[in-house]
Amino acid sequence: MKQLFKEKKGSAIITVLIVMGVLTLLGTAILQYSVNDNLQVFNDEKRMQAHYLARSGAEAVADYIINHPYEVDELVGKAAKPVEPDEETLQATLKGTFDVVVTKSGDGYLITSTGYVDGFERTVKLTMLPYGQGYGLGEFAVFCNSGIDLKQNTTIVGNVGTNATEKGSITCNGKYTINGDVLVGPGGDPDDVIAGDHTINGETGQLDSEIKYQVPEFPAFPDLDDKGSIELGNEGSDIISNDGYYQKIELGNGSKLTIDVGSDVRNVVVENLIVEGDIEIKGDGCLNLYVTDLEPINGNINIDGNVNALMMYYTGNKITMKKEIEFCGTIFAQGDLTMYE
């Protein structure tokens, strides 16, 4: 009887050891799975942070190119040194660096940005394509190296900048309004530089450094098929949907000329342009409008349109436009340009 009890007692100990071994193996497996899962989450988080850093670098360089289009060639082929993110613009927990390389890609530019966080890296590529063939001033609607002399009752919609620091560099012989920010040259006092009876619906301040725009050469007018002339009477309408040369385009009061640019670049050359009606630009592309002789503008051109959709090349040096008229685009004059109301 005693022998039987001892045998059963030994069997119970073996059973307990087996159960403990199984539980130990199961616990180890669960722990290993939990550690691997946490490690995977940790790695995924670092990869995501590296991706965000790379994207931030690409977007920062793209924004710089948009606002400084004439400096883009200086960036091509150059790799930026690793940059730490600005904690004011990114989360404080986002620690790491990124570097950016800009290369030429066809007619555009390829921005390659790589973010690095704790040994993890992610690369983001952004392609910038030219929007037409126009030249812009980046963030400014008007920019001058020296002074700006405005006419009475002038209103500028957009930011205004100047490299000038002298007192009274921005002035007017009457009231004027600027619906945007005004930045004067480095070291200049906006209260001194901006003179006259003015209303500024924006902030005033200084440029961090002088801005030097590369002045492009005035292009030769393209040789296009002769389309004759377009003369619209009052309330008349017409459509241009192809490139062409026009001896004369005359729009009567209340008339409308629609220029369909599609998704490409439309080139129209006009010897004599008379605008009493409106010119509308239709499509996602842009219009290069080459003008030799421009009569006073008494109608809207590209009203409520995209400012990048219109580039007007003008061989003259004087433009007269009613103050209530809207011209939405860029004017590239061959010489010094004076605008009158």
Instruction: Give tens-digit pLDDT for 232-263.
Output: 988 899 999 999 999 999 999 999 999 999 88
Q: Reduced to 3 states, what is the DSSP secondary structure of residue 320? A: strand
Residue 175 pLDDT: 86
Confidence bin at 165 (pLDDT 50/70/90): very high
Asked if residue 124 has pLDDT above 50, the reply is: yes
Residue 12 pLDDT: 64
What percent of the chain shows pLDDT beyond 90? 29
CB-CB contact of 100 with 77 (8 Å) = no
Separation between Cα atoms, residue 140 and residue 183, nearest integer Å: 10
Separation between Cα atoms, residue 72 and residue 231, nearest integer Å: 42
62 CA to centre of own chain: 7
Tokens found for residue 120:
């993890």
DSSP state letters, 209-252 = S------PPPPPPP---B--EEEE-TT-EEEE-S-EEEEEEEE-
The listed range with the strongest mean pLDDT (101-105, 149-153, 162-166, 315-319) is 162-166
Instruction: Give tens-digit pLDDT for 199-222.
Output: 999 999 998 888 776 666 788 899
Q: CA of 340: how far to CAs of 153, 318, 319, 321, in Å?
A: 11, 8, 6, 6
Asked if residue 320 has pLDDT above 90, the reply is: no
Can you tell me which residue has the tokens 């007269």? 320
Asked if residue 333 has pLDDT above 80, the reply is: yes
CB-CB contact of 189 with 169 (8 Å) = no
DSSP for residue 307: G
Asked if residue 131 has pLDDT above 60, the reply is: no
Q: What 3 state SS string does 88-127 have? A: CCCCCCCCCEEEEEEEEECCEEEEEEEEEECCEEEEEEEE
